[in-house]
Amino acid sequence: MAEIEIQPKNSDDSVLPEVGHWVLFSTILASSMAFIDSSALNVALPTLQDDLQTSGAQLLWIVNTYLLMLAALILVGGSLGDKLGRKKVFMLGIGLFVLASLACGLTPNIEFLLGARIAQGIGGAMMIPGSLAIITATFGPEHRGRAIGTWSAATTIVTIAGPVVGGCLADVGLWRGVFLINLPIGLTALLMLHFKVPESCNQTASDKIDYLGAILATVGLAGLTYGFISLPDLGLAHPGVYVSLLGGVAALVSCGIVEVRSHHPMLPLHLFQSRTFSGANLLTLFLYGALNVGTFFLCLNLVQAQSYSQSIAGFADMPFALLLAGLSPWAGKLADRYGPRLSLIVGPTLAGFGFLLLALVGLTQGPVEYWTTFFPGIFVFGLGMAITVAPLTTAVMGSAPMHYAGTASGINNAVARTAGALAIAIVGAIALSTFAQALATHTADLNLSGEVRSAIQTGAARLGQTLDLGDMAPEEVRAAETAIKLAFVDTFQCVMLICAALAWLSAIVGAILVERRDPLADTPLASKSWSETRQDLEILAMQNQYQPYQIDRSKVEAGVSDLVP
């Protein structure tokens, strides 16, 4: 029995135009919340840290609590939508995300904020799969590519604008606005969905949801994250650290066993029998780990060490977003013509060189030197990612059978989120240790009192945040502040070198594991007749699989990817 879609149709089997407009508008609004939240928050973190007096480890948790929930639950969120109703689950996700955003915006302390970020991640896992799922269910194949392209263009604009908005709000002391801006956006989307958008679901979907797999994945990722972030403060010998790390590994191994034995796994492991599928996801793990941790520390460096205002820091990363938006269609067409392998070698290699250029930047005179210091690295990194993103999507989708298209894309999206959480935890732990050591080195020759020296070392846990140095003489204050900035620059350079290594490792993975042509390219979609193509799409709709991130060739050509940050 085919999937049952409840939606108004014209006589030509296409969605009514007024319904299509409401679907696009509501899904774009809801998706914008997630894009703004991720891109704007990084820029606003320094002001948030100063206001809430957070440590460096807590700063890492602000980002990671959200990513952990998203990585572990996004596949379950998509399955719930297919079974219970895509609009219903989408609206529940939006509602939870909005309430959690309100809690984030009104937070009195860091502990409350972390709890609210967990709720945001759960809401995001229900909300994020829903946008493309509803578009896919509403629009027929003849209009779907254009609808997805419109969604992609709008969310790209939001992604570009997010850091600027976040920086401007933070500069005037309104970092809470990064969260509170979600309220009018989310409520408007909910009203549109309730009154104007039809429901759809897959009535053939199984009643069984892989909750055990999701719980084990969450526990495993949380254990590893806690262990690595706590390592600099507690040390490896501390029971809390090694118990957390060993428990995290055990939970992830158990998750793998559950997925192998489950009749309805959220993560069908047999897909990894494809060399290209395994290679593309391993490449994603390394490259998107570098992307997440690199952009996180770039924003902190610009504001806390390089004396950029947060609004200017928001503009500084714009070349990356513009290159990604402008060149992805071209890269997607190249992947269609020649296969994704070459792009997945060249792109990550260039991205690694971009990180290397950023690692060569020392302490600068601020924004006046941007074009000769940070811009070259950001440009080369952006060029590398623009060459990589669409071909990576092509490799993932082309290496899985058509009836697993949605599942394959959902797995790749979850891998990207997992990469961010683990990279920020592991590289963040290295950064905390590096900063403490570098700060001790840069203050060793300063003529400081024992009390001041102790205060500076105690403040090392705050990862470069300006410290209150009390009644020191002005020249001593300047010397101490310079030492703190130099220590943070040393830390940033170390992080960029790690990111470069991860990017180059992903290029090696692409060269070794990604095949020259898609393994399923013997019968490409483009070579089939329209009736055969339509039949394939109907078969795909009947599958009891994760649907939200189904990608067709027109989407790849439009430069759209689930992994665009």
| Residue-wise pLDDT tens digits, 2-47 | 333 434 444 334 455 677 888 888 988 988 888 787 788 889 998 8
Q: Per-residue pLDDT averaged across 527-536, rounded?
A: 38
Residue written as token pair 């941790």: 293
Mark whether 433 and 356 lie in a shared domain. Answer: yes
Mark whether 343 and 194 lie in a shared domain. Answer: no
* Tens digit of each residue's pLDDT (9 = 90 or more) over 74-88: 888 877 877 788 889
**Domain boundary pick from 266, 294, 310:** 266
- Mean of the per-residue pLDDT values of the chain: 81
User: In the structure, what pLDDT confidence band is assigned to residue 354 with cuts at 50, 70 and 90?
Assistant: very high
Mark whether 140 and 37 lie in a shared domain. Answer: yes
Q: For residue 51, is it within any domain?
A: yes
Three-state DSSP at 448 gives: coil
Q: For residue 252, is it within any domain?
A: no
**CA–CA separation, 223 vs 206, rounded Å?**
30
Q: For residue 291, is it within any domain?
A: yes
User: In the structure, what pLDDT confidence band is assigned to residue 527 with cuts at 50, 70 and 90?
Assistant: very low
Q: What is the domain range of residue 510?
A: 272-565
**CA–CA separation, 202 vs 180, rounded Å?**
34
User: What are the residues whose beta carbons fall under 8 Å from the beta carbon of 84, sequence distance 6 or more?
Assistant: 201
Mark whether 20 and 156 lie in a shared domain. Answer: yes
Mark whether 200 and 305 lie in a shared domain. Answer: no
In the chain, helix, strand, coil percent, each to 5?
80, 0, 20
Burial class (CB in 10 A: 0-12, 13-18, 19+), 188: middle
pLDDT of 66 above 50:
yes
Domain containing 319 — which CATH number? 1.20.1250.20
Q: For residue 397, is it within any domain?
A: yes
pLDDT at 17: 62
pLDDT at 281: 94
Beta bridge partners of 200: 5
Q: Which residue has the higher pLDDT, 330 or 289?
A: 289
Mark whether 42 and 188 lie in a shared domain. Answer: yes
Q: For residue 422, is it within any domain?
A: yes
**Domain boundary pick from 266, 286, 309:** 266
pLDDT at 410: 77
* Tens digit of each residue's pLDDT (9 = 90 or more) over 472-485: 667 777 777 888 88
Mark whether 294 and 430 lie in a shared domain. Answer: yes
Mark whether 390 and 503 lie in a shared domain. Answer: yes
Amino acid identity, residue 425?
A
Burial class (CB in 10 A: 0-12, 13-18, 19+), 298: buried
Least confident of 215-219, 271-275, 395-399: 395-399
**Domain boundary pick from 238, 266, 294:** 266
Q: For residue 238, is it within any domain?
A: no
Beta bridge partners of 9: 15
Q: Per-residue pLDDT averaged across 342-354, rounded?
A: 96
**CA–CA separation, 73 vs 59, rounded Å?**
22
Residue written as token pair 């001041």: 452
Mark whether 175 and 287 lie in a shared domain. Answer: no
Q: Are 461 and 56 in contact (CB under 8 A)?
A: yes
pLDDT of 522 above 50:
no
Q: Are 255 and 75 in contact (CB under 8 A)?
A: no
* Tens digit of each residue's pLDDT (9 = 90 or more) over 359-405: 999 999 999 999 999 999 999 999 999 999 888 888 887 888 766 76
Mark whether 341 and 466 lie in a shared domain. Answer: yes
Q: Per-residue pLDDT averaged across 213-225, rounded?
A: 89
pLDDT at 543: 37
Q: For residue 382, is it within any domain?
A: yes
* Tens digit of each residue's pLDDT (9 = 90 or more) over 321-343: 888 878 878 888 888 788 889 99
Mark whether 172 and 320 lie in a shared domain. Answer: no
Q: For residue 437, is it within any domain?
A: yes
Q: How many domains in the chain?
A: 2
pLDDT at 477: 73
pLDDT at 489: 95
Mark whether 198 and 288 lie in a shared domain. Answer: no
* Tens digit of each residue's pLDDT (9 = 90 or more) over 165-192: 899 999 988 999 999 999 999 999 999 9
